[in-house]
Amino acid sequence: MTFKRILGVATLLAAAAAFAQAPTSKPAAATSSAAPTGATVTLSPSTPAASATELTDAHALAKPGDAKAGQTKAAACGACHGLDGNSSDAQYPKLAAQQERYIARQLALFKTGERQNPIMMGMAGSVTPQDMRDIGAYFASQKTLPGVADDTVIKAGPNQGMKFYAVGERLYRGGDAARGVPACIACHGPTGAGNPGPAYPTLDGQHASYVSARLTAFRSGLVLGKGEYENKVMAGVAKNLTDEEIQALSTYVEGLHPAHDDVASKPVTSTASAPTATAH
């Protein structure tokens, strides 16, 4: 296996071109050639979202979180998720830079048992709605350490000859209209940063094994939330994905990151080391 880091900047340019509806917008080629490579590109959080249905939860009335208060409250979470939200053990999802309200919603779902996971149902049991927002605000304020994507060439099958992550990149950016797979970029953004408005989760840098477990669960029809809090989007998105596509999308997002976070020259290490968890 070989690995590659994926710069969000290339994706950004393609997305900007795709989304540029204004009559004054320049052709994609001109935009690309004018942009210095490796430029510090900060994305507007208002990246167009497809039919944004706001993700909410039973605790939506809590005040916005306080990151400072959240840091103290998140101490117990660091053992698995990393003190700064960059878990080094892939069985625990990274929470760094995750959307505040997305974190709060998932905690609420674990607390009621609507999202099933024995460890997290236990952890969320005593967390109050305000704690959920504070902890969310703390992790949202942290920076994700990017991972790397699988660069191996696929030897057989429909994607023969393509690099593994490139299969994911193609779907992430363009979807597959013929098979009813929407482009992930529309909701999760060109660099995978998600969308704070409707609280769509960030995906960039997330451990591939966690992402593929989530996509597999969504493909089997997993819908989170009940009644007015239900969100069926991902069950629809994932229903036609093949195993290979799930793996490819997962490794693609693990390697995805904005250009200004490029650390290609630095070794990939997590600063917050997580002690081995025994609770599962």
- By the 8 A CB rule, do 154 and 160 touch? yes
Question: Interface with ligand HEC by CB under 6 A: which range of 19-27, 156-164, 176-184, 263-271?
Answer: 176-184
Is position 81 an interface residue for ligand HEC (rule: CB under 6 A)?
yes
- Map residues 151-170 to x or -, x wherever contact with ligand HEC holds by CB under 6 A: --------------------
Is position 203 an interface residue for ligand HEC (rule: CB under 6 A)?
yes
Helix (H) or strand (E) holding 150, with range, is strand 149-150
CB atoms within 10 A of CB 228: 7
Residues in the chain: 280
Q: How far apart are CA 73 and CA 17, in angstroms?
A: 42
Least distance to ligand HEC from the beta carbon of 135, Å?
A: 5
Per DSSP, helices labelled H in the chain are 8-19, 28-34, 67-73, 78-81, 100-112, 118-124, 129-140, 164-174, 185-188, 208-219, 233-238, 243-255
Is position 93 an interface residue for ligand HEC (rule: CB under 6 A)?
yes
Q: Which of 80, 167, 193, 208 binds ligand HEC (CB under 6 A)?
A: 80
Q: Residues interacting with ligand HEC, by CB under 6 A? A: 50, 55, 76-77, 79-81, 91-93, 95, 103, 106-107, 117, 119-120, 123, 127, 135, 171, 181-182, 184, 186-188, 200-201, 203, 211, 214-215, 224-225, 231, 233-234, 237, 249, 277, 279
